[in-house]
Amino acid sequence: MTAIDGARLLDDLATLARFGACGPGVDRVALSEADIAARRWLAERMREAGLEATMDRVGNVVGRDPRAALAILIGSHSDTVPRGGRLDGALGVIYALEIARSLREHEAGGPASPIGIDVVSFQDEEGTYLPFLGSRTFCGTLDEAEIASARSADGHPLADALRPLAEEPAPHRLDPARHLAFVEAHIEQGPRLEAARKRIGVVTGIVGIRRFRIVATGAANHAGTTPMALRRDAGAALIRIAADLLDRFPALAGDETVWNIGAIAFRPGAANVVPGVAELSLEMRDLDPAVLDRLEQAATERVAAESAAESGAGVSATIARTTTVAPTAMAPDLIEAMTAAAQSLGETPVMLPSGAGHDAMELGRVLPAGMLFVPSIGGISHDVAEATSDADIVRGCEVLAEAVDGLRRRLATAGR
Ligand SMILES: [Zn+2]
User: Ligand 1 centre from 91 Cα, in Å?
Assistant: 9
Residue 186 lies in a domain: yes
User: Ligand 1 centre from 147 Cα, in Å?
Assistant: 21
User: Ligand 1 centre from 335 Cα, in Å?
Assistant: 19
Are residue 22 and residue 149 in the same domain, yes or no? yes
- Spatial contact of 39 and 121, defined as CB atoms under 8 Å apart: yes
User: Ligand 1 centre from 66 Cα, in Å?
Assistant: 28
Query: Confidence class of residue 396 from pLDDT cuts 50, 70 and 90?
Result: very high
User: Ligand 1 centre from 5 Cα, in Å?
Assistant: 23
Are residue 169 and residue 317 in the same domain, yes or no? no
User: Ligand 1 centre from 68 Cα, in Å?
Assistant: 28
pLDDT higher than 90, residue 113: no
User: Ligand 1 centre from 342 Cα, in Å?
Assistant: 22
Are residue 307 and residue 333 in the same domain, yes or no? no
What backbone torsions phi and psi does residue 141 show, to the nearest 5 degrees? -110, 15
Are residue 146 and residue 221 in the same domain, yes or no? no
User: Ligand 1 centre from 388 Cα, in Å?
Assistant: 14
pLDDT higher than 60, residue 249: yes
User: Ligand 1 centre from 89 Cα, in Å?
Assistant: 4
Q: Which amino acid is at 110?
A: G
Residue 358: the pLDDT is 97
Top-confidence residue, 114 or 166: 166
User: Ligand 1 centre from 264 Cα, in Å?
Assistant: 28
Q: What is the pLDDT of residues 71-81, one digit of tens each?
A: 999 999 999 99
User: Ligand 1 centre from 187 Cα, in Å?
Assistant: 8
Residue 413: the pLDDT is 84
Q: Domain ends where: 325, 343, 378?
A: 325
User: Ligand 1 centre from 20 Cα, in Å?
Assistant: 16
Q: What is the pLDDT of residues 258-281, one digit of tens each?
A: 999 999 999 999 999 999 999 999
Are residue 71 and residue 192 in the same domain, yes or no? yes
User: Ligand 1 centre from 125 Cα, in Å?
Assistant: 7
Residue 111: the pLDDT is 79
Residue 58 lies in a domain: yes
Are residue 159 and residue 111 in the same domain, yes or no? yes
Number of folded domains that form the chain: 2
Residue 414: the pLDDT is 79
* Distance, CA of 98 to CA of 133 (rounded, Å): 25
Q: Domain ends where: 276, 307, 325?
A: 325
Residue 148 lies in a domain: yes
The CA distances from residue 10 to 73, 76, 358, 371, in Å, are 21, 17, 23, 20
Percent of the chain with pLDDT over 90: 95
pTM confidence score: 0.90
User: Ligand 1 centre from 174 Cα, in Å?
Assistant: 20
User: Ligand 1 centre from 345 Cα, in Å?
Assistant: 26
Half-sphere exposure of 240 (CA within 13 A, CB side): 17
User: Ligand 1 centre from 81 Cα, in Å?
Assistant: 9
Mean pLDDT of the chain: 96
pLDDT higher than 70, residue 1: no
* Distance, CA of 335 to CA of 64 (rounded, Å): 24
User: Ligand 1 centre from 261 Cα, in Å?
Assistant: 24
Mean pLDDT of the 356-369 span: 96
Query: Confidence class of residue 415 from pLDDT cuts 50, 70 and 90?
Result: low
Mean pLDDT of the 75-102 span: 97
Residue 416: the pLDDT is 53
User: Ligand 1 centre from 357 Cα, in Å?
Assistant: 8
Residue 147 lies in a domain: yes
**Domain at 59, CATH number:** 3.40.630.10
Residue 363 lies in a domain: yes
Residue 252: the pLDDT is 98
Query: Confidence class of residue 118 from pLDDT cuts 50, 70 and 90?
Result: very high
User: Ligand 1 centre from 382 Cα, in Å?
Assistant: 9
Are residue 41 and residue 169 in the same domain, yes or no? yes
User: Ligand 1 centre from 384 Cα, in Å?
Assistant: 14
Residue 147: the pLDDT is 92
SS3 329: strand
- Spatial contact of 216 and 306, defined as CB atoms under 8 Å apart: yes
Comparing C-alpha atoms, which of 78, 69, 59 is closest to residue 169?
59
* Distance, CA of 34 to CA of 122 (rounded, Å): 15
Q: Domain ends where: 290, 325, 360?
A: 325
Mean pLDDT of the 32-44 span: 98
User: Ligand 1 centre from 41 Cα, in Å?
Assistant: 19
Radius of gyration over alpha carbons of the chain, in Å?
24
Are residue 151 and residue 83 in the same domain, yes or no? yes
Mean pLDDT of the 397-411 span: 96
Residue 140 lies in a domain: yes
User: Ligand 1 centre from 359 Cα, in Å?
Assistant: 8
Are residue 87 and residue 53 in the same domain, yes or no? yes
User: Ligand 1 centre from 92 Cα, in Å?
Assistant: 9
**Domain at 252, CATH number:** 3.30.70.360
User: Ligand 1 centre from 124 Cα, in Å?
Assistant: 10
Residue 1 lies in a domain: no
Are residue 222 and residue 265 in the same domain, yes or no? yes
Are residue 41 and residue 141 in the same domain, yes or no? yes
- Spatial contact of 401 and 4, defined as CB atoms under 8 Å apart: yes
Give kind and range of the element (H or E) at residue 184: strand 179-187
Are residue 167 and residue 66 in the same domain, yes or no? yes
User: Ligand 1 centre from 77 Cα, in Å?
Assistant: 7
Residue range of the domain that includes 315 = 208-325
Mean pLDDT of the 48-55 span: 97
User: Ligand 1 centre from 358 Cα, in Å?
Assistant: 6
pLDDT higher than 60, residue 70: yes
